[in-house]
């Protein structure tokens, strides 16, 4: 069955049943800029959150500096150079910077700020090339060092990531060389200018690369800490607190979209007796195997499973028919039976088994997640009362429960 796209306010891991990140730091050979497709999206949001204020300030500072340079031009340049230069500064560069600065405020534009900011930075670079060109064609000795200032602005002040910053820097470099060749700058002067500007771009590219690399490492470290905080240390499933937080978000999404939810409470049958007979080390290994079976049946983005405590597990499945949900529960129960783990002290059979209680409902405004959990708990109680090693499903308001 098709499932709607996840709620963007609640980014979920692709496999809710098992942890996807190692709790240990990555080895040096793993330290690359590339992340998985999902991690790239998450990193984009992380980078935006970290750099948005910096971009806003950088654009504001650039606007102020171009105004100061315009004042300097108005005072010092001859009229035939001053008018076109002021036209570029005040008629092109400053308006573009202003638009980019204003774009940092609307939430709908913020995800595009890398390319908005990059476009504004490129306009600055090309605008400065144009200013130098006007000076050259009028034989006015305007220094080219303004290109160097803009280059370092690209890489270190704007908050641009490596790719857009490098594009701005190297495109400006190529256009500048073409302009100087067209205006006939003496070869030795062109050689030195190209060398210094190229060196500035190399320094900027390498520096920007490693700044982004460090930010990515920090992002991965925070992701790993979050994983450790949200995962049960024994089974790798979500812990109870993380389940509650994610399930509340999914509940609200199901309420908005009027989709059904299945909430399951699962309990390993007679597990205390298992621990007493086989020992806690064997009990831990059994819980790991049971958790793997449960987690392997919750792989869609909005399906989540967790260890609720002890030998009890909980799960939530989004937008399934009752028949499909029951089929998943039966596969979980059968999968645990296939493990064929001896349990001689169980009254439900001589192998490890599980009882499952399921609440199937479409969330209503007067209901909450706790209501669904209570209903699932009632269904679990009925499964145990009816002999365990079975699935019992209940809907709100049902006086009877269907068992599998």
Which residues are catalytic, by number?
Answer: 311
User: Cα–Cα distance between 154 and 149 in angstroms, integer?
Assistant: 9
Three-state SS for 258? Answer: coil
**Contact 356/264 with Cβ under 8 angstroms?**
yes
Three-state SS for 262? Answer: strand
Neighbours of 172 (CB within 10 A): 24
Q: Which residues contact 403 (CB under 8 A, 6 or more apart)?
A: 382, 383, 386, 390, 391, 392, 393
Count of residues making up the chain? 404
Q: Could you tell me the CA-to-CA distances from 38 to 19, 92, 143, 161 in Å, in that order?
A: 15, 38, 46, 18
Q: How far is Cα of residue 19 from the mean position of the Cα atoms in its chain?
A: 16
β-pairing, 354-361 vs 304-309, is unpaired
**Structural tokens at position 34:** 């590339």
Q: Which residues contact 285 (CB under 8 A, 6 or more apart)?
A: none
Q: Which residues contact 245 (CB under 8 A, 6 or more apart)?
A: none
User: Cα–Cα distance between 312 and 41 in angstroms, integer?
Assistant: 34
User: Cα–Cα distance between 380 and 2 in angstroms, integer?
Assistant: 28
């Amino acid at each position: 069955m098709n499932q709607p796209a996840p709620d963007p306010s609640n980014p979920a891991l692709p496999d809710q049943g098992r942890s996807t990140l190692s709790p240990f730091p990555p080895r040096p050979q793993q330290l690359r800029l590339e992340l998985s497709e999902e991690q790239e999206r998450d990193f984009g949001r992380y980078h935006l959150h970290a750099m948005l204020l910096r971009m806003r300030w950088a654009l504001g500072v650039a606007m102020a500096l171009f105004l100061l340079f315009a004042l300097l031009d108005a005072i010092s340049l001859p009229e035939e150079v001053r008018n076109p230069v002021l036209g570029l500064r005040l008629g092109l560069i400053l308006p573009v910077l202003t638009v980019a600065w204003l774009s940092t405020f609307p939430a709908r534009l913020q995800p595009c700020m890398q390319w908005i900011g990059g476009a504004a930075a490129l306009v600055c670079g090309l605008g400065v090339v144009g200013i130098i060109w006007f000076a050259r064609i009028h034989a006015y000795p305007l220094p080219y060092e303004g290109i160097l200032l803009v280059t370092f602005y690209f890489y270190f002040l704007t908050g641009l990531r490596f790719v857009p910053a490098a594009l701005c820097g190297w495109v400006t470099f190529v256009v500048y060389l073409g302009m100087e060749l067209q205006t006939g700058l003496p070869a030795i002067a062109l050689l030195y200018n190209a060398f210094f500007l190229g060196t500035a771009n190399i320094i900027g590219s390498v520096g920007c690369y490693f700044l982004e690399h460090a930010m990515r490492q920090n992002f991965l470290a925070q992701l790993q800490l979050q994983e450790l905080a949200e995962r049960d240390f024994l089974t790798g499933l979500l812990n109870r607190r993380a389940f509650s937080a994610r399930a509340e978000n999914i509940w609200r999404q199901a309420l908005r979209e009027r989709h059904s939810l299945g909430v399951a409470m699962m309990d390993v049958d007679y597990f205390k007796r298992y621990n007493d007979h086989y020992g806690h080390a064997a009990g831990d290994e059994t819980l790991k195997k049971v958790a793997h079976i449960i987690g392997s049946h919750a792989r869609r983005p909005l399906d989540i499973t967790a260890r609720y405590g002890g030998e009890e597990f909980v799960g939530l499945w989004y937008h399934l028919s009752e028949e499909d949900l029951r089929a998943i529960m039966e596969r979980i129960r059968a999968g645990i039976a296939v493990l064929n783990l001896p349990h001689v002290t169980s009254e439900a059979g001589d192998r490890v088994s599980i009882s499952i209680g399921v609440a199937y409902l479409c969330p209503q405004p007067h209901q909450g997640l706790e209501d669904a959990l209570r209903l699932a708990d009632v269904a679990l109680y009925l499964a145990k009362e009816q002999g365990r090693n079975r699935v019992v499903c209940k809907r709100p308001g049902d006086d009877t429960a269907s068992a599998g």
